[in-house]
Amino acid sequence: MAQGETGGGATPSGYEEHPELLPLPAEKRVYSSYTFWWMMFSMNTNIPMFFLGPIAYSLGLSVGQAALGAFLGNLAATFVLILNGYVGWKYGIPYPVQLRPAFGFRGIHIPVVLRGIVGAGWYGVEAYGGSLAITMIALYALGMPREEVVVEAYKYIVIALIFYVAMATYVMARGLRGIGKVATYGGPLLLLYFLWLLAFLAGQEVEVKLPQGVPYTSGEFATYLAVQTNWWATVALNISDLSRGLRTDKKTLYLGLVGGPLIGIVLAQVLGTLLGYYLVLYTEAIYGTGYVTPQDIIMVAAPGAVAIILGELFAFIAPFSTDVTANIPPLIDILTATLKLSLLGAAIGAGLIGFFLAPWWAVEKGPDYVGYVTAFSANYGVILGPIAGIMLADFYIIRRRRYDLNKLYTHGTQGYWYSNGISLSGLFSLILAIIASYLYSWARGQLQEVGPLVFPHQLSWYIGVIAGFIFYIILVHLFKETE
């Protein structure tokens, strides 16, 4: 194997590199295939995952359509995730460094910040969900009746949010090892609990009415497919932040990097979607109200105090494991690569951002929370899709699956410098791909307003991946930036 592959060393030239951005050598790789499987599974088994069933149900999709949309959307995102993750495994480099050949040494800050913004939004969503579970446990333990807890917990969530953010900051300050330990024990516990709760509710003698479904060409199915795709189109960009920790043997590559996401994300997302779908059906049939958040379902439907407390505890662990593996790392990327903060300083900064982006100021009940997540997750693909297309085109087509590790860490014209540190090919491909998504939606009359913002068609991630891929290949030759 050529020098520099699977974690060979590189000496920064012309600048002082942040320690967290240096290539990770083989002897410091800490993730086995087993750990990575559980990391993907724990990352995926989070509180919002159980919203996917209620989202499908509220849009009128049938059970089969909910499962199909979950499978197709997550398979597409996972395909990109594996391809990008290979770069991290091969060179031991994180997401900001992986971007340098496509965007330039200085130009990387644009895609780093864009990915970090989306990660920050998800950090807030997950932190809210975990804090809600903590709040419900506290109020129930203090003697408040179940029905009141479901209503009153939203008023006191800020107190629990401070604890949640402090715990996440502590784990992130410990680096890759801290993340791996949390991932191994997190989401699977909630998944097992919900399987049991579903079996309990299904055993009640009630008549469940199943929706008949919607046309596959409808806006409802497109919205749902976009939500499912965008869910992990996030980590598909910065997966190298995690895959660089995988051991360097080929067995770990195939079983860990390839097998982990296919099982831990794609199949688990289908299962989680169906669980959420049926839980809404059963709670609506039994209690007359279709409870939509896992915390509400646990509080109302779990049989007994022990089941309630265990369920809410798991409802805290699940979003926590997702935040430390999927949502906080891109924020750390911004604060270390762009603002040059230490790992501890970046962890603290990320915690403050997560606190203020948690929707405690916008959500007053369960349906509000689901609506907030739906609007957020259906639309940010317009900026993530083009970045994914550019990254794939650069590594697999332009560089032919090989980066010069020394150039990745060279500041100046001997490295990936281009025009004053910015690749015009990467920058203009990103802009043109976003414009293409808007033009496509405008031509079809499918621009949509979300508050004060206007977004293109729900499937803009797919358009962006293809457009970014094509534009970059054309422009990199036009601007002669192949080297």
Which range, of 3-12, 281-290, 341-350, 472-481, averages the lowest pLDDT? 3-12
In this prediction, residue 1 carries a pLDDT of 36
Q: What pLDDT was estimated at residue 81? A: 97
Are the CB atoms for 248 and 29 separated by under 8 Å? Answer: yes
> pLDDT at residue 429 above 70?
yes
Class of residue 305 by CB neighbours under 10 A (exposed 0-12, middle 13-18, buried 19+):
exposed
**CATH class of the domain defined by 19-380:** mainly alpha
Return mean pLDDT, the chain: 88
- Which residue has better confidence, 352 or 3? 352
Pick the most confident of 22-31, 176-185, 315-324.
Answer: 22-31
pLDDT digits (tens, 9 = 90+) for 237-257: 999 999 999 999 999 999 999
Residue 317 pLDDT class (50, 70, 90 cuts) = confident
CA–CA distance, 360 with 31 (Å, rounded to integer): 35
Lowest-confidence pick of 89-103, 229-243, 285-299: 285-299
Average pLDDT for 187-191: 71
- 93 has pLDDT over 50: yes
Q: How confident is the model at residue 186 (pLDDT cuts 50, 70, 90)?
A: low
pLDDT band per the 50, 70, 90 thresholds, residue 314: confident
- What's this model's pTM, rounded to 2 decimal places? 0.86
Q: Can you give the pLDDT at residue 425? A: 97
Is 28's pLDDT higher than 70?
A: yes
- Residues 319-377: tens digit of each pLDDT: 887 787 778 888 888 888 778 888 888 888 888 888 888 888 888 888 888 788 888 88
